[in-house]
């Protein structure tokens, strides 16, 4: 199955899954939603604030796996409203200047009523 990744710097899994799994030199993250890792509360604000928190959580999970945003090769992004697409992209671009491959889809609903969820596949550093 690979090596499970766990960090206190990102929200704990709210179901029977790992924050990420390392396998074959790659890390596969679970979707990260905009929860504060300390309080567990949904980030206050709209799509911009929620996107930033979800990506901060993703960054923390990747770091715990010995990777980082600069090693991401593919993301999958879930939005509850495609009218948020432009604002989402504005925040996303600040986290991924290297422009990994990406899918972005609209979904009816996300856990805890959040507006966005992001998962990633990344290379794990050889120094790990």
Q: Are 9 and 2 in contact (CB under 8 A)?
A: no
Residue from 21, 26, 63, 104 carrying the catalytic annotation: 104
Among this protein's residues, is 77 annotated catalytic? Answer: no
The angle formed by the CA atoms of residues 55, 57 and 115, to the nearest 5 degrees, is 60
Instruction: Give the distance, in angstroms, between the CA of residue 100 and the centroid of all CA atoms in the same chain.
Output: 13
Active site residues: 104
């Amino acid at each position: 199955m690979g090596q499970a990744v766990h960090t206190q710097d990102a929200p704990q899994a709210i179901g029977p899954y790992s924050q990420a799994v390392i396998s074959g030199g790659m890390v596969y993250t679970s979707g990260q939603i905009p929860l504060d890792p300390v309080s567990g509360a949904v980030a206050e604000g709209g799509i911009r604030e929620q996107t930033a928190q979800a990506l901060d959580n993703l960054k923390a999970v990747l770091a715990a796996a010995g990777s980082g945003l600069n090693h991401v090769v593919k993301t999958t992004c879930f939005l509850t409203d495609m009218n948020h697409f432009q604002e989402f992209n504005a925040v996303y671009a600040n986290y991924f200047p290297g422009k990994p491959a990406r899918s972005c889809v609209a979904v009816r609903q996300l856990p805890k009523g959040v507006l966005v969820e992001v998962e990633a596949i990344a290379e794990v550093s050889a120094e790990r």
